[in-house]
Structures are given as C-alpha cells and as structure tokens.
Amino acid sequence: MDYISVKEAAKKWGVSERWVQKFCMEDRIPRVQRFGRSWMIPKDAVRPDDLRIKHRKENEDA
C-alpha cells in the first residue's frame, strides 16, 4: 500500500496540515498509521467530512 504525508494530503484535500493531523488523531481516516512523530496516510484515502458543517437532507424543504 502506498502512503502520503500530512503535507501531501493537505494539498490534495485543500485544507491545512493541522486539519489533516486532527483527522489522524481523531481516527477519522481509515488505515492511517503513526510512524514516530509522523502520520502515514493511505494514498487512496478520502477527506473526512467536516463535522462543523451541517448537511441538508435532499428531502428537506427550505
């Protein structure tokens, strides 16, 4: 399995490196691994949803 760094994931997902680290610490990225002080993120991982944003349901009226 190929891995990418926090810096590469941040660029790929359009978020800060700190946000990627937070996703890793909260175990919100499947198969993420800690290697010393660094995180190894699977290359095919998708960005977790931002839990601060409430998503509207499709059936919901405005």
Structural contact between residues 21 and 6, judged by C-beta atoms closer than 8 angstroms: yes
Spatial strand order of the sheet with 3-4 comes to 3-4, 38-42, 33-35
Q: What is the pLDDT of residues 11-50, one digit of tens each?
A: 999 999 999 999 999 999 999 999 999 999 999 999 987 7
To the question of pTM greater than 0.85 for the whole model, the response is no
Residue 29: CB atoms within 10 Å: 19
